[in-house]
Amino acid sequence: MYQIDFSHPSSLYFVGIGGISMSGLAQILADAGFRVSGSDRTKSELTGHLEVQGITVFYGHRENNITDDIDCVIFTSAIHPDNPEYIAAHEKHIPCLTRAQLLGQIMRNYKTPIAISGTHGKTTTTSMASEILMAADMDPTLSIGGILKSIGSCVRVGGPDIFLTEACEYTNSFLSFFPKIGIILNIEEDHLDFFKDLADIRSSFHQFALLLPKDGYLILNGQIPHLEEITKGVDCQILTFGLEAFCDYHPSSISFDEMGHPRFMLNSPQASLREFSLQVPGVHNLYNAMAAIALADVLSIPTQTTAQALHKFGGTSRRFEYKGSIGGITIVDDYAHHPTEVAATLKTAAGIPHREVWCVFQPHTYSRTKVFLKEFAQALSLADRVVLADIYAARETDTLGISSQDLARELQALGTSCAYFPSFDEIENFLLANCQSGDLLITMGAGDVLKIGENLLGK
């Protein structure tokens, strides 16, 4: 494998540079003195930000973008072998790295690399931990899967000690990492276009846990079923969190305000009862917060600093993000694209004052929709009214014979009010005609469904 020499910055080219993770890595390396360029399909806010920083971005993937002076080409998992830049790089015998391999090499340059993994909650937990680390003046370098509002970016370039990143299991990418501290938030079925089944996914997380060195830490959800299978053979210190008393970190005296924000007392191994309060709603965020608190304890951050940072944290982009109000209708956007995430978001919404909860859902990928069709229907049935957009294909093509109309039929069979429209314009017109003052409208999905709420607010 090609090894990047950080003492002698070279020329790096990113195929898919506009992705949230790729753009962040490009910024980190450009700041380190590397000559960075890349390409993406279309211009976006992220690519525009890169260009402002002097990074050359080509729009459209073309073989002549790959020039002889490039030392290494970086690809995302979404780039296929028929991509013209992929072909050109291999024909020119230019060394190539995956995004995960590059991220792993970056991690090795820091004293304390931290990787946050799990099927759900990675971006929120990474963001919570980021706020704590910055509040503690630890000058971290950050790579986040969403925009952290306090820094207005998905990346922060800091000192040489701490590197904090999300660690995604898709295509086993996190197995290319070199963490000293690892967090596993949860393990569920997902990405079944790559993994064979849940056992295959659990095996991947077990291998991730085994990456941790003897002087490292593994912080994980103690309520993961058959936890011993994940921790078997792990050499480092292990800390667990969860709602149950057998977990090292567990809460008591949990309460929620009228907006669903939790307040709780926390039991932990080396500290007396401590009180924390959050400004992000839902039980799922209590889990995320406990993981971040355990990390802060491992890094010897004072409780007061941790508590203040968590209370100040107002969420990240596309995680139950308040977008605005129109005609007394509150519009929220959420990235949920797995049945467990959908259910968690809608349960959170149920605890917030409203007349009716509307969920505009855009399924993400054909494979996920087909595998979880009934589970999606059950989760979405927690809303009062559901409106479905077409499936967002992402990296896939429509070869599985599945559509949003199949999901609509499942919802209607459950007795849930559901409508489907093939265009955003039709969805927007339907919502304008039917939503009423006092309703809570959630646009939901990992695609571009957020545009619907933004368009409504602009009308």
Give the residue numbers annotated as catalytic, written as ranges: 122-123, 166
Q: Give 279's contacts (C-beta < 8 A, 6+ positions apart).
A: 261, 311, 312, 313, 314, 315
Helices (H) and strands (E) in the chain, counts: 15, 21
Compute the distance between CA of residue 109 and CA of residue 406 in angstroms, rounded to an integer: 49
Half-sphere exposure of 366 (CA within 13 A, CB side): 10
State the Cα–Cα distance between residues 380 and 346, nearest whole angstrom: 8
Tokens of 11: 């020329």
Closest CA to 391 of 366, 425, 370: 366
Distance of CA 289 to the CA centre of its chain: 15
Of 122, 123, 113, which Cα lies nearest the Cα of 162? 113
Separation of alpha carbons 184 and 205, rounded Å: 8
Helix (H) or strand (E) holding 385: strand 385-388
Give the pairing of strands 217-221 and 237-241. parallel
Q: 378 vs 81, 181, 351, CA distance in Å?
A: 38, 36, 18
Q: Which of 64, 63, 62, 53 is nearest to 24 (CA)?
A: 53
- The Cβ-side half-sphere exposure at 427, using a 13 Å CA radius, reads 29
Q: Is 112 helix (H, G, I), strand (E, B) or coil?
A: strand
